């Protein structure tokens, strides 16, 4: 079953396309990082999945074929919008009770216990809470309805590093405990490796890369070698991004098969998730999608040292 599935999905705001020709199938049970620069269409995609927007073209389903915004989808999805909007004039405790009244599958005791564990002052008004506490309250509300899919739009954006760490640690604990799927967007690239096991890169409103983190890391390498010449035309690799540093060139390449040997005269290192993300984001033209979409990379990008 797929947590989110879309085919030919597109969304246009007045004249500009926020999302184009988006085909994606995210299987259930993953923690999915949706990565891309500002304006890439991350929020649009997540709002479409949450049923807050309607597609201009194509279609999107969630939780194995449910229409976003339908009753089943609203019950099964916990959504935290960008900036985690809450009713600021209400105390946290009342905010929780209110969320309970808006839901059917609500576990109030668990939600209260969670906030107590996190030392969020329940009787303080929401706007008087710190950014981290507000984010935790919003997450608690989303988790309180015991969703099967949790969608978080930039949950880390407003948090300092410490709060960021705590937020992610508590989220991971919930994921381990409840076995829910999580899709979160972020433009914080560091630390993704520890959190996400599935990566989706969105750039300029188009999907660039999607796949399990381990699978992706297995087929991507960093090649370091002489700065001039293009020695790798013989190899079955596609160069995703080339960077010139002094006399040396660093290439992010995608092997056709895992474990392929490095070409002669080049050093091959495993790519980190950060290398991979940055490499793709720097070359928005490259699209490497699983399955038939791989064909999109035929012709390959050119090395321009």
Partner 1 sequence: MTAAAHPASQNQQSGKRTARVPLRRLMRVTVRQHRTTLFWTGIVVAVLAIVLAATGVPLHELAARGGPSWYGASRASVDFGGVLQALALLLQLAALLVGIFIGAPLLPREIQEGTAKLAWTQAASRTRWLLAQVLPLAGLALAAFAIGAEFAWWLSPFLHLATGRIGPLSPWWSLRFNLVPLLLAGWVVFAFTSGVFLGAAIRRTLPAMAATLACYGAVLFEVSASWRMHYLAPMHRAVAVQFQAVGSYGYSVYWGPHPPVIMSEGLGWPNGRLLSNVLQMRPAAWMRLHHIVMWITYQPGSRYHTFQAIELGWLLAASALLVAAAIFMIRRRPA
Nearer to partner 1, 1 or 190 (CB): 1
The CA distance from 194 to 232, in Å, is: 32
Contact criterion met (CB below 8 Å) for 202 and 208: yes
Smallest distance, partner 1 to C-beta of residue 141, A: 8
Smallest distance, partner 1 to C-beta of residue 144, A: 10
Contact criterion met (CB below 8 Å) for 5 and 24: yes
Smallest distance, partner 1 to C-beta of residue 30, A: 6
Smallest distance, partner 1 to C-beta of residue 204, A: 21
Nearer to partner 1, 53 or 201 (CB): 53
Smallest distance, partner 1 to C-beta of residue 60, A: 14
Smallest distance, partner 1 to C-beta of residue 126, A: 10
Sheet-wide strand order for 31-35 = 77-80, 149-152, 181-186, 31-35, 198-203, 206-212
Backbone dihedral angles phi then psi of residue 114, each to the nearest 5 degrees: -65, -45
The CA distance from 149 to 24, in Å, is: 16
Smallest distance, partner 1 to C-beta of residue 12, A: 12
Contact criterion met (CB below 8 Å) for 61 and 25: no
Contact criterion met (CB below 8 Å) for 20 and 206: yes
Contact criterion met (CB below 8 Å) for 244 and 235: no
Quote the crossing angle between the two packed helices 92-101 and 131-144, to the nearest 10°: 20
Contact criterion met (CB below 8 Å) for 117 and 69: no
The CA distance from 207 to 45, in Å, is: 11
Number of helices (H) and strands (E) in the chain: give both, helices first.
Answer: 9, 13
Nearer to partner 1, 193 or 197 (CB): 197
Nearer to partner 1, 144 or 279 (CB): 144
Smallest distance, partner 1 to C-beta of residue 97, A: 8
The CA distance from 217 to 265, in Å, is: 22
Q: How far is CA 230 from CA 33, 233, 236, 264, 302, in A?
A: 33, 7, 14, 12, 10
> Which spans of this chain sit near partner 1 (rule: CB under 8 A)?
1-2, 25, 27-30, 47, 50-54, 71-72, 74-77, 79, 81-83, 85-90, 94, 97-99, 101-105, 138, 141, 145-148, 178-181, 197, 212, 290-291
């Amino acid at each position: 079953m797929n947590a989110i599935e879309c085919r030919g999905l597109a969304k246009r705001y007045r004249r500009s396309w926020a999302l184009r020709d988006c085909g994606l199938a995210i299987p259930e049970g993953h923690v999915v990082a949706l990565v891309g620069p500002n304006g890439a269409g991350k929020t649009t995609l997540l709002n479409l999945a949450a049923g807050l927007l309607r597609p201009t073209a194509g279609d999107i389903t969630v939780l194995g074929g449910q229409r976003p915004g339908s009753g089943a989808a609203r019950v099964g999805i916990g959504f935290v919008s960008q900036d985690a909007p809450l009713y600021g004039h209400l105390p946290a405790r009342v905010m929780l009770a209110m969320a309970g009244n808006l839901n059917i599958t609500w576990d109030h005791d668990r939600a209260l216990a969670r906030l107590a564990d996190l030392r969020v002052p329940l009787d303080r008004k929401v706007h008087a809470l710190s950014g981290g506490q507000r984010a935790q309250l919003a997450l608690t509300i989303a988790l309180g309805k015991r969703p099967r899919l949790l969608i978080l739009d930039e949950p880390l954006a407003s948090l300092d590093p410490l709060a960021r760490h705590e937020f992610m640690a508590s989220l991971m604990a919930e994921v381990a405990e409840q076995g829910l799927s999580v899709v979160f967007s972020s433009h914080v690239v560091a630390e993704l490796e520890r959190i996400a096991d599935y990566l989706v890169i969105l750039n300029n409103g188009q999907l660039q890369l999607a796949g399990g983190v381990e699978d992706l890391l297995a087929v991507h390498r960093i090649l370091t070698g002489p700065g001039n010449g293009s020695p790798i035309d013989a190899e079955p690799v596609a160069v995703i991004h080339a960077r010139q540093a002094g006399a040396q060139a660093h290439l992010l390449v995608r092997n056709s098969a895992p474990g392929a040997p490095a070409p002669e005269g080049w050093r091959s290192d495993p790519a980190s998730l950060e290398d991979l993300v940055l490499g793709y984001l720097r070359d928005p033209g490259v699209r490497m999608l699983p399955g038939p979409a791989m064909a999109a990379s035929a012709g390959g990008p050119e090395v321009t040292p």
